[in-house]
Chains A and B, each alone.
Chain A
């Protein structure tokens, strides 16, 4: 890292925290959730949702890539290296996004709703960043996410009276802001996700 870090690194970009500290957890969440969402491709309960989850996955992975790019500039590395060349324990994603929820549709929609709400809050915070590149990217992400929010709220309204959905919300809500130990199913995801980079040297995104 080029800039000297303060003794107690701030966790907020608003107060000059490093891009890696602030953006990596978000980028990792987006990458892993994008991966999980893509697991519905071809098997969602309706064709419309097959398309929706595939498209949302594509957006989330795109957001991850752009966020890694900004971190990579600071660390003198590349988005690919950050996305695929770290050890599992170096990822900063939340266990909440690591959960493999296929084929449970109620839980998938519950996570979608909870995630989009939490993600909206942190993206709005990034809009106020004193790092113009971060604020600029956050503004772009925010506009794309508007469509995810419409989609998740539409599903929330549709399922809110369904007991199975309410139970899923209750079960998952405590996990939203949780960080720390990865779930065992993350290891398997990591194996799949990094296989190309581990077997083909220099493969790019």
Chain B
């Protein structure tokens, strides 16, 4: 008999397709799991709407649920419920350990250039805040590129959203 707990455990083993050290549960994109009559309903919110990992995540969730012997029903919820604040503390630590600076907390009024250009962002390698914005945009929609003047290492900063 599939329980919600078993489903959460199974989903927690699915790596983010673009940042494999972190799982999709760490990432906070699984909003809800309910089980009824052998069907598992998952509410899933994309990170960025243009994220190409969306389909991969959805298909992998469905496959894991089938492995548990249940029928998947993965609903993609296109509302505002995902935010980088939903990344778990474990997820933030895994990001940092893999060289991705975790996102700053979300603030009222949204991001501002002056804030992105400030020294409030820590280098994930050496911990220095002597870092500067190189590009608001990066290799995926969720990341910016920064440079650390202390250890002279470029790094990727998760955008706050």
Contact = CB atoms under 8 A, between A and B. Distances in A.
Interface in B115-150: 116, 134-141, 145
B78 A143 contact: no
A136 B79 contact: yes
Contacts of A59: 48-50, 141
B137 A140 contact: no
Interface stretch (B13-21, B27-35, B105-113): B105-113
Contact of A144 (B49, B78, B81, B134): B49
A41 interface: no
Contacts, number: 80
Interface string A38-63: 00000000001001101110111111
Interface residues of B, number: 27
A161 interface: no
B111 A150 contact: yes
B49 A65 contact: yes
Contact residues of B: prevailing secondary structure:
loop
A141 interface: yes
B67 interface: no
A140 B79 contact: yes
A70 B136 contact: no
Interface in A64-80: 65-66, 69-70
Contact of B137 (A51, A60, A66, A137): A51
A52 B141 contact: no
Contacts of A48: 134-135, 137
Task: List 9 A-B pairs, minimum CB-CB distance, nearest first.
Answer: A62-B50, A136-B79, A139-B80, A62-B49, A55-B137, A58-B50, A52-B137, A146-B110, A48-B135
